[in-house]
Structure 1
Amino acid sequence: MRGLQAEGGVLSWRTEAAAALAPGQVRVRIHAAGINRADLLQKAGNYPPPPGATDILGLECAGEVIEVCGQTRWAVGDRVCALLAGGGMADEVVVDARHLLPVPRGMGWADAAAIPEVFTTAWLNVFELGAARPGEKVLIHAGASGVGTAAIQLCKAFGNPCWVTLGSQEKLDTCKALGAEGGVLRHEGISALQADGPFDVALDPVGANYAPEHLDLLALDGRWVMIGLMGGRKAELDLAKVLVKRLQLTGSTLRTRSADYKAELLSRMEGQLWPLFESGQLKPLVAKTYSFDQAQEAFAELARDQIVGKIVLVASEADA
């Protein structure tokens, strides 16, 4: 089996023996794998896999079941997409059967591979941890990212007006076409959103750079869910505003959650979201696809931060 790893910031393919299956696991032949900012961090040595997880890159993939062990809902030949702690950028992956979801009807491999990580992240942090209720306003940072474009679509589907922050007018126009009410460019400062608030939920992959402004932008009983630190890890806050507004700050990472937690989360998502994927109301936004052998170019493209949506690696034999 061939898999993509990173050593010293350099990507390379390595061949290793295929993993054996334990009861409740499934082997999937991978046809496509999404690339996420977490993969860039791992490549740079800043986001190691959790204990026991493979160091092969890739937190999501789509492919065909080729082997099962024990009692599961899956059979050989099923088309599935997978949420992973690692291992998605490879010929095949062994995964907990509960961490697979069916490829929505009529969807190709590239689109299916762009669902698991970003839609799970957006759903968990806006609607479960953030507890967004219909009509509440949501603030989405990095709105043109994979997670951001997923969150915009979810907000539109569940009746939550949302605003975004991002880096260019072109990206803002695309996000508004997806359903965002409006937004601001990073260089304008997020305090420019004051007139559009207050916001009930903030989805924040930025951290320190935006932290003080959140205290002014959030509503009474607002929920601020932090999922990343792209803008730094240290900030000075006026805690009196946190107290008076009864604000909640929640730190959230998905990769290190327990297998049971992920299984239950994915089950809830399938019930809530899969009918919307199959009706076309939700659709992963794939900006570009590359072959697996073009992984270096694909990672460089994501690092340039010019795209809207996801970059996906597609196996040469896949029907896309």
Structure 2
Amino acid sequence: MKAIVITQPGAPEVLQMAERSIPAYTDNDVLVKVAAAGVNRPDVYQRKGNYPPPKGASADIPGLEIAGTIIETGANVTRWKVGDKICALLNGGGYAEYCAVPQCQCLPIPGELSFTEAASLPETFFTVWSNVFDRGQLKTGETLLVHGGSSGIGVTAIQMAKAMGNKVYVTAGSAEKCSFCEELGATKAINYKTDVFQDAILELTKGKGVAVILDMIGGDYTPGNLQSLADEGRLVMINTMKGKDVEVDLSIVIRKRITITGSMLRGRQTEFKAAIAQKLEETIWPFIASGQIKPIINKVFAADKAADAHRLMESGEHIGKIVLEF
């Protein structure tokens, strides 16, 4: 099969098309002919050598989400059959014509979505559900602040939280991105280049603050996050793009009874991911099938242009998801 491989750690041009063996699969896996694969920031980190894959995942083929057609099934596979069209969360290896996936990490393609649209769903939807609704315990009627509102995670969080009955605030880095987020359903998008987000949040909430913050920034955003949280607020970290070392006023944590938590999804057990898949199918997939939640795709690249896709990802100029087509 053809696959996009990381020839050595480095810049986008280290991604090259190569020949690889079709992967073996276990009794609990399905083998999928890949039509499209989503591009995500962890792929960039893996390409640079900063994000070692978990045990058993491909070290040189990135890719955490795909959509395609099942062409073979393991002996213990009960739900899926050859010919089923699915999208799936992977542990790695998605930038390839074929990949093996645990059966419980597959989901049916909702509604009438294309393969390309479906490939943009799993990584961000699994991540948002796990961190906002499971770990952050966002309840109907509560308020959510999402940093990076125009990112793949951001556009997913806006739509999911709004569909679940929540008010969503976001930060973004341009007037265009802010307008897009508000059109998508955010109550207010704050331009972090022109406004101090914590001041804006406290003004918007009349001094109360928000219940949950989903943060991929870290660094000097952390003190502002604590200021922006309401009493009993939950700060959920999924990345530290501006740095992992921070100085905070712990008295705010004590006074407001704040919970600070975070997680990484990729290395979790299959059973953990299976539980998220079940919740997504029951709760969120109907919103997608009905069109209330839509895939937001910024640009689609042919698979052999994966380096260009990574350049766009690193530029931060995109709104929504980036997808490769095979």
> Which of 40, 44, 56 matches 1:52?
56
1:251, distance to aligned residue in structure 2 (A): 1.5
| CA deviation string 1:32-86 (max 9, x = no partner) | 0000111111111111111221121100000000000113211111000010110
C-alpha separation in 2, matches of 1:181 and 1:258 = 36
Given that residues 57 and 88 in structure 1 are in contact (C-alpha distance below 8 angstroms), is that contact kept between their aligned partners in structure 2? yes
Q: Which amino acid aligns with 2:223?
A: P
> Which of 293, 303, 307 matches 2:314?
303
| CA deviation string 1:150-209 (max 9, x = no partner) | 000011101110110111010000000010011211222322322123000000000112
Give matches, 1:1-320, under 5 Å. 1-6=1-6, 7-9=8-10, 10-55=14-59, 56-70=61-75, 71-187=77-193, 188-193=195-200, 194-197=202-205, 198-315=209-326
C-alpha separation in 1, matches of 2:140 and 2:129 = 14
| CA deviation string 1:4-44 (max 9, x = no partner) | 22212111223222222211110000000000111111111
Which 5+ residue runs of structure 1 have no aligned equivalent? Answer: 316-320
Given that residues 223 and 247 in structure 1 are in contact (C-alpha distance below 8 angstroms), is that contact kept between their aligned partners in structure 2? yes
1:283, distance to aligned residue in structure 2 (A): 1.1
Which 5+ residue runs of structure 2 have no aligned equivalent? Answer: none
Structure 2 partner of 1:318: none
* Aligned Cα root-mean-square deviation (Å): 1.0
Q: Which amino acid aligns with 1:285?
A: I
1:103, distance to aligned residue in structure 2 (A): 0.7
> Which stretches of structure 1, 4 residues or longer, exceed 3 Å deviation after superposition?
none
TM norm structure 1:
0.96
8-17 or 67-76: which moved more? 8-17
**3-state SS in 1 of match to 2:310:** helix
**3-state SS in 2 of match to 1:29:** strand
TM norm structure 2:
0.94
1:268, distance to aligned residue in structure 2 (A): 1.3
Given that residues 290 and 313 in structure 1 are in contact (C-alpha distance below 8 angstroms), is that contact kept between their aligned partners in structure 2? yes
| CA deviation string 1:275-310 (max 9, x = no partner) | 111101111101110110111111111111111100
**3-state SS in 1 of match to 2:220:** helix
